[in-house]
Structure 1
């Protein structure tokens, strides 16, 4: 249960959002709501990122079953309050989650919450690091099926999508982003077996408890899939999950190789990368 103080803060949040202007963009599926204190420049930068994301979703023929509400907050405090409200969690839970994140896409409802920072006002590229990534998580959630998530694809694909969005906006080339990711892998003290990346709890434990670069590895694994099969096949994979296919069956249908074979091949690739070959 919320205390009186927390309840008042939530009511103030709801009021500020209600009083904030809602902008309509080229993306008909995006209902963008700004905290009242979000600067005009930040709003313009967010609008640009959503427009580019909309263009890419159109390019890949992605039609979202549900419209997305994108909530752009002004600072950490309003980010915490928005996360409490839309996720129905306690203040302590929200603080713990929000302190290390710049955005979140909710699995249970079509809502993306973005944490506004001064960088969002001063650097449009910084907005492109967050908005396309979190929106693509909504694609995964809406096209996929609860209980069928493959951890490395869940995290690797949104990063690849935001690399593509950044390139489309003129902020660098996908190839350069991938080279930087490879350098992180090369410098890591050690790497886990990629075959451990399917289960999400194990995936997070490898990162949080042992410090392995599992996100960077996931990005390169996803990049290999896209290089060999095209981005459209990733969408096909999630459609198969949504239609009831098991992850292993969906993977071999979409990518024409068993997931276990692919992950074994990626282990060999990572070993070659670290040996400088």
Structure 2
């Protein structure tokens, strides 16, 4: 979820005033409303204790005012804090509570964090959100209360706060700045209707809320813009440049402060960035290979070669290519899989162990490959194509559910692997389809495909039925579509579903049959 800053004009805090209420200047005080999740509260307190010294050492600045951080127990108490302490209006209260995980008011010296663990599931999210909100306080102090809304630049305000969040998370051992940047690029390139650069300049509170509620990925674009700025115009000292900009903002307009700090006019920078981003969005996918210590290097080389062949297959049949930058992390064992997922994906050990037996796993821009399970060339061919095709389809649809066609997304991805096996002399799709039908008839009937339209529905079915048989059903159905309409039909559906946003409607238009009727046909063919 996003975060929204409320940094309007302020009564400026000075040391004398801070001490009058018995509190220390620059100290961060954490309190709660209700009983937040224990892990969330612990992580918020850890960042609160860490942040002042981190700012002093990394940014060479100190907080001048005491800051209150209030952590809510759940969505209801979060709404209560927004209403009572942030003065959020009843008209926007529900939306702000739904689309934000935290908010900050520089004039009040106050940050509010949604302590519901469903809002902040990972420790790196909790670290980065808390640090993000606290850095809004620093922006406010450095600029003497002029860092918010129309006074500032939305993308740099939010992007620099997210950058600090990533720095703090990295310093606390939860993720890296590189991963933060790659994931922001990943989210943007998978977004259907992302915000434009022009929308992220000087903005009103209403405009910011609209960006959040329309899921325009305004924070992801802000992050990529800020990272690009700091890499190209940070002069090797990005933190000092951020501080300098906000100090100048205290006495100058945003454009003047920007030009004097970074040595380029804002309009010129925006034009340069837009050209670079257009190029980034058009180049074929780049894969950075990371080989963990005990992974078989020969197996890795084989897989990377097959990945290139799978890329060629996808381009021949779809006419398109996967875009973006990815990390391919090759692990050597189940335990190494767990360690890599925790290191790169910032997930809990329990969650990592629950997927440690997988052949591959995805964490936004990072892909984990279980090297022993792809050491065999046949598996290498299948997995490389299934993984690449799935990523391509999700990117095209801008939806993990395949526009409510999750079964087809899974099935077509796997069948692309089978198609590559066929081209490599390892059987054909028809033979595999007969095998799947035999396996599916060996036990109780599976649910019909129209009951498997979402990822959640697939997960729930996976708890009731054997996972491999569930995949066999999706594969069988996708293979039947390929048999009837060819791969061109699959990719025509993909194109229509992207344009309409309605996978079921696109299915009817391309294949001339409703999903429900096709599901009934498949069920009769099987049982």
TM-score tier after normalising by the smaller chain length: 0.7 to 0.9
Q: RCO greater where, 1 or 2, for CA within 8 Å and sep 6 or more?
A: 1
Instruction: Tell me how far apart the structure 2 counterparts of residues 238 and 210 of structure 1 sit (CA, whole Å).
Output: 29
Task: Report SS of the residue matched to 2:166.
Answer: helix
Structure number with bigger Rg: 2
Instruction: Tell me how far apart the structure 1 counterparts of residues 93 and 193 of structure 2 sit (CA, whole Å).
Output: 32
Q: Deviations over 1:97-121 (max 9, x none)?
A: 2122111102431100111113589
2:125 counterpart of 1:117: no
Task: Report SS of the residue matched to 1:44.
Answer: helix
* C-alpha contact (below 8 Å) 1:167/1:174 kept by paired residues: yes
User: Which runs of at least 4 in structure 1 moved beyond 6 Å after TM superposition?
Assistant: none
Change (3 A) 1:240 1:100: same
* C-alpha contact (below 8 Å) 2:154/2:200 kept by paired residues: yes
Q: Deviations over 1:161-194 (max 9, x none)?
A: 1111111111112112211221223333466652
Aligned match of 1:18: none
Structure 1 unaligned regions, length at least 5: 1-23
Instruction: Tell me how far apart the structure 2 counterparts of residues 151 and 208 of structure 1 sit (CA, whole Å).
Output: 13
Aligned match of 2:290: none
* C-alpha contact (below 8 Å) 2:36/2:116 kept by paired residues: no
Instruction: Tell me how far apart the structure 2 counterparts of residues 45 and 120 of structure 1 sit (CA, whole Å).
Output: 14
Aligned match of 2:28: 30
Q: Deviations over 1:197-220 (max 9, x none)?
A: 212149648835875433212101
Shift of 1:33: 1.2
Q: Deviations over 1:4-55 (max 9, x none)?
A: xxxxxxxxxxxxxxxxxxxx99x95201112242354443222212233233
Aligned match of 2:312: none
* C-alpha contact (below 8 Å) 1:140/1:238 kept by paired residues: yes
Question: Which range moved further: 48-57 or 130-139?
Answer: 48-57
* C-alpha contact (below 8 Å) 1:156/1:222 kept by paired residues: yes
Instruction: Tell me how far apart the structure 2 counterparts of residues 171 and 265 of structure 1 sit (CA, whole Å).
Output: 32
Aligned match of 1:215: 219
Question: Which range moved further: 125-134 or 182-191?
Answer: 182-191
* C-alpha contact (below 8 Å) 1:45/1:121 kept by paired residues: no
Report the aligned-residue RMSD: 2.9
Aligned match of 2:241: 233
Instruction: Tell me how far apart the structure 2 counterparts of residues 64 and 151 of structure 1 sit (CA, whole Å).
Output: 22
Task: Report SS of the residue matched to 1:108.
Answer: coil
Change (3 A) 1:263 1:50: same
Change (3 A) 1:222 1:75: same
Aligned match of 1:55: 53
* C-alpha contact (below 8 Å) 2:195/2:216 kept by paired residues: yes
Task: Report SS of the residue matched to 1:188.
Answer: coil
TM (norm. structure 2) is 0.44
TM (norm. structure 1) is 0.80
Change (3 A) 1:93 1:125: same
Instruction: Tell me how far apart the structure 2 counterparts of residues 34 and 209 of structure 1 sit (CA, whole Å).
Output: 27
Q: Deviations over 1:240-275 (max 9, x none)?
A: 111x11111111111111111111110011111111
